[in-house]
Structure 1
Amino acid sequence: MNRYRLFSVAPIALLVFVCSFSQHGSDEKKWIELFNGKHIRNWIVKVNHHDVGVNFGNTFRVEDGLIKVRYDQYGAYNDQFAHLYFKRPFSHYHLLVEYRFTGKFKEDAPGYTYRNSGVMLHSQDPRTMLKDQDWPISIEMQFLGGLGDGKPRTTGNLCTPGTNVVYEGKLDTRHCIDSRSKTYDGDQWVTAEAIVLGDSLIKHIINGDTVLQYSKPQIGGGVVNNFNPAIKIDGTPLKKGFIALQSEGQEIDFRRVAIRILRR
């Protein structure tokens, strides 16, 4: 009789309790710092035109507790796009990255890379990339800085090297899709988050505001060059992959890279 009364008298209260418990349980998932502020020994470098593991020009370095992307040891840029990959892949997770652009740009890099960087999600393993492969097959959360001209330039956009997604209910084969974020000028710190649910839903969040979402990430499309055809099987769902910080000609700092595992 007591059990019957518990479930019949207070169903609304019980529902509120269950919802509160679920939200609290989600909050209890702890952040794991992928960058410890001291070194990048848990990360893998791949620079275009170089073998995996070669940090050409000391592109990625740790100084002042930051991961810094710099080009002062380069000669010609020569499309030496680079990425810094955490050592293991992830599937369902909440990623947090704090970044800021600096004022320096490698003048002989492509013009579209000015105040442009990003973080790659669901990336292929860098050890499967060929020496002259320019971009990893991946989903990019693109970071753009304002140009100081009063014109909008969103950040937290989507770019799709060697991939496609479903956006607004249909397969979208555009290489880049703009978010609805504000414009961030200067060298201010920006907090970017991505909620990645395997090959289901991905959300981009900038300074606490959800600015873009899409679903069903999959291999397909162009832009990637000089890849191993055995890796790029179009139509393959992207259920997991590596996380990588990008370098493509613009100096940028990263002060935090952290993750919460949502499902193993």
Structure 2
Amino acid sequence: MSRLRFGFAGAILLALPLVSQGEESGSGQAEEFSFVELFNGKDLSNWVDVNTSPETWSVKNGLLVCTGKPIGVMRSTKMYENFILIVEWRHMEAGGNSGVFLWSDAKPEGNRLPRGMEVQMLELQWPYIHTHRNGKPRHLGYVSGELFGAGGMRAVPENPRGSRSMSYEMRCKGHGEWNRYVVVAVDGTVKLSINGKFVNGIREADGRKGFLCLEAEGAEIHFRRVSIMELPDGRAEELGMVLGRELTEKKD
């Protein structure tokens, strides 16, 4: 089952050396695929604040530090369609909440968060701290990399918990410890690896090109790596599944 379940991501990763050697650009040169650091350890030059504050995001000792307040996001300067994203992060508080949005329009609504595919980053104590009214813990599916369409984005979950997809295995570490997400996003399908193993997926998203957004949602979180490898374009433009295009026409 695992071979079938995660064959999509494996096929992409195995094909990259062949693609980089054999695919030619319009100039006749072979196109190279490599990771670009979206966080350079020095400043926020690849990011634009959307609706937080100058104090929300900062760089300290080579780490990207988010205070979590106010709730909101900052977005990438570029839009992305198909890619592999690596994010290394750690919560600093029990029950902390954050995430990264893929294919986002970067236009927050009433809850101060935008439309997009959210890759959840919840600290392991979140279900026990944010309980139901009767005191019972929330579903453990919330933590360890849940995937879901936020702000009205629709998609088909691989391991359903309602409209969300929860991980098959709980692999996230608690506050103070580093986690590593590898996200493969191609043509509306997302596969997520947590700390060395693919454990979640979602497909048929109705938005397939947009911004990346990092989320502030009430608690301090640190990032030490945000890297992206862009892959060849798909059909997002043809299908009208591009979100947030009007923001590219504005001066950042």
Q: What is the TM-score when the length of structure 2 is the normalising length?
A: 0.69
1:1-264 equivalent positions in 2, closer than 5 A: 22=15, 24-25=17-18, 29-47=33-51, 55-56=52-53, 58-70=55-67, 80-103=70-93, 114-124=95-105, 126=106, 128-129=107-108, 134-147=112-125, 154-161=143-150, 162-168=152-158, 174=162, 176-180=164-168, 181-199=170-188, 201-218=189-206, 238-264=207-233
SS in 1 for 2:18: helix
Q: Deviations over 1:76-135 (max 9, x none)?
A: x6xx4211211011001000000001137xxxxxxxxx32211000100x3x556x5621
Residue 168 of structure 1 deviates from its aligned partner by: 4.1
In the aligned structure 2, how far is the partner of 1:101 from the partner of 1:133?
A: 22
Amino acid at match of 1:240: K
In the aligned structure 1, how far is the partner of 2:149 from the partner of 2:56?
A: 23
- Asked if 2 retains the 8 angstrom alpha-carbon contact of 1:164 and 1:173, the reply is no
Relative to structure 1, is the Cα distance of residues 174 and 135 closer, same or farther in structure 2, using a 3 angstrom cutoff? Answer: farther
Q: Which runs of 5+ in 1 are unaligned?
A: 1-20, 48-54, 72-76, 105-113, 219-237
- Asked if 1 retains the 8 angstrom alpha-carbon contact of 2:147 and 2:202, the reply is no
Relative to structure 1, is the Cα distance of residues 139 and 23 closer, same or farther in structure 2, using a 3 angstrom cutoff? Answer: closer
Relative to structure 1, is the Cα distance of residues 23 and 262 closer, same or farther in structure 2, using a 3 angstrom cutoff? Answer: closer
Relative to structure 1, is the Cα distance of residues 45 and 210 closer, same or farther in structure 2, using a 3 angstrom cutoff? Answer: same
Relative to structure 1, is the Cα distance of residues 247 and 175 closer, same or farther in structure 2, using a 3 angstrom cutoff? Answer: farther
Select the structure of larger CA radius of gyration.
Answer: 1
| Identity value in percent | 27
Q: Matched residue pairs, number?
A: 195
Relative to structure 1, is the Cα distance of residues 40 and 167 closer, same or farther in structure 2, using a 3 angstrom cutoff? Answer: same
In the aligned structure 2, how far is the partner of 1:69 from the partner of 1:261?
A: 25
In the aligned structure 1, how far is the partner of 2:54 from the partner of 2:74?
A: 14
In the aligned structure 1, how far is the partner of 2:209 from the partner of 2:186?
A: 9
Relative to structure 1, is the Cα distance of residues 70 and 91 closer, same or farther in structure 2, using a 3 angstrom cutoff? Answer: same
Q: Deviations over 1:185-216 (max 9, x none)?
A: 231100011100032x2101111211111211
Q: Which runs of 5+ in 2 are unaligned?
A: 1-13, 21-31, 129-136, 234-252
Residue 41 of structure 1 deviates from its aligned partner by: 2.4
- Asked if 2 retains the 8 angstrom alpha-carbon contact of 1:165 and 1:173, the reply is no
- Asked if 1 retains the 8 angstrom alpha-carbon contact of 2:156 and 2:163, the reply is no
Relative to structure 1, is the Cα distance of residues 183 and 31 closer, same or farther in structure 2, using a 3 angstrom cutoff? Answer: closer
- Asked if 2 retains the 8 angstrom alpha-carbon contact of 1:142 and 1:156, the reply is yes
Q: What is the TM-score when the length of structure 1 is the normalising length?
A: 0.66
In the aligned structure 2, how far is the partner of 1:209 from the partner of 1:173?
A: 20
